Amino acid sequence: MNKKIEGVLTAIVTPFDNDGALNPQALATQVKRQVTAGNGVFCGGTNGEFFVLNEREKLIVTETCVSAVAGDAPVVAHIGEISTRETIRLGKQIEKLGVNAVSAITPWFVPLTQQELIDHYHAVADALSVPLFLYNIPARTGNKLEPETVKTLAEHPNIIGIKDSAGSFESLSGFLQATKENPNFMVLNGPDSLIHKGFVEGCAACISGLANVAPQEIHAIWARFHAGDIAGSATAQESVTGLRTDLYKVAFSPAAVKEALRLMGHDVGHSRYAVSFSEAQQETIRKIIHQYLN
């Protein structure tokens, strides 16, 4: 299980039906679409709308992804909850489902010291048999993992990497530098705008929300880089960056990604949280899809 995870992991959306209920069949279809493109799966994260899923739904999402992947690609499941106790509780259930690893954002709402974050992650890593990725997304949680903190946490045998979604190369670079003497520690890039640069600088993989919309195009950044075509990888990144910039001008992820998928004819439903799209916004998204993906 604890083998190196590399390439593209798609931060898979969680499809809902017309009544807003979980739609596992549609999820399996989306997962298989990603595997066909050469991508792995990161489930139950921000793009998976974990914040509006109950515990049972999170387990069904993970089970569905593992089953649909059928061993052909890695599956990483997000288990982060607001307390250490609940993160461990969910993690102990998720680890039985056959995932390659789990990931946990920092606790949120209440500000924590770096030592408290270390204590939290040590407790989670100690309690689980499945490998753990840290997950830094301070704009959403209010708690930021510092590079020195991650360097300390990287020494734990069951903490195998970090997903950084802070949104800047400065942040990504800080983690790469802090853990460079630990060759088994994987830094995973979160922002779709930094996929190519992340690979060039030493990221093992990217976790991409935009890959839901453009699975082949995102995979091309990795495939070309992996084949030694650095210039080709950079060119593949340029088109993706334009798609990301234009789409996220309409609305932020995950709602924008899900609406784009829906308008492309995929049965993923609407987001559960309070967001809606006007006819003008939908038409803008259609034009963006046509410009970048046709």
Q: What is the mean pLDDT of residues 186-201?
A: 97
Going from the N-terminus, what domains does the chain have, and what CATH number goes with each? 7-293 (3.20.20.70)
Per residue in 134-179, pLDDT (tens digit) is 999 999 999 999 999 999 999 999 999 999 999 999 999 999 999 9
C-alpha angle 125/171/144, rounded to 5°? 50
- Claim: this prediction has a pTM higher than 0.75: yes
Q: What is the mean pLDDT of residues 12-35?
A: 98
Which phi and psi (to 5°) does residue 236 adopt? -60, -35
Strand partners, 77: 43, 102
Tell me if 243 sits within 8 A of 214, measured CB to CB: yes
Q: What is the mean pLDDT of residues 45-56?
A: 97
Per residue in 256-271, pLDDT (tens digit) is 999 999 999 999 999 9
Which is the catalytic residue, given 121, 135, 151, 258? 135
Strand partners, 132: 102, 159
Q: Tell me: pLDDT of 253 over 90.
A: no
Please tell me the distance from the alpha carbon of residue 43 to that of residue 50, in angstroms, as a whole number: 9
Quote the pLDDT of residue 3: 66
Q: Tell me: pLDDT of 203 over 90.
A: yes
Tell me if 207 sits within 8 A of 9, measured CB to CB: yes
Instruction: Return the sign of the alpha-carbon dihedral for residues 148, 158, 138, 117.
Output: negative
- pLDDT tier, 82 (very low <50, low <70, confident <90, very high otherwise): very high
Check if 197 is active-site.
no
Check if 135 is active-site.
yes
Tell me if 289 sits within 8 A of 263, measured CB to CB: yes
Q: What is the mean pLDDT of residues 216-229?
A: 98
Which is the catalytic residue, given 58, 121, 151, 163? 163
Higher pLDDT, 252 or 150: 150
Tell me if 235 sits within 8 A of 223, measured CB to CB: no
Q: Tell me: pLDDT of 223 over 90.
A: yes
130 burial via Cβ count (<10 Å: 0-12, 13-18, 19+): buried
Q: Tell me: pLDDT of 1 over 50.
A: no
Looking at every residue in the chain, the average pLDDT score rounds to: 96
- Say if strands 75-78 and 132-136 run parallel, antiparallel, or are unpaired: unpaired
Please tell me the distance from the alpha carbon of residue 136 to that of residue 68, in angstroms, as a whole number: 28
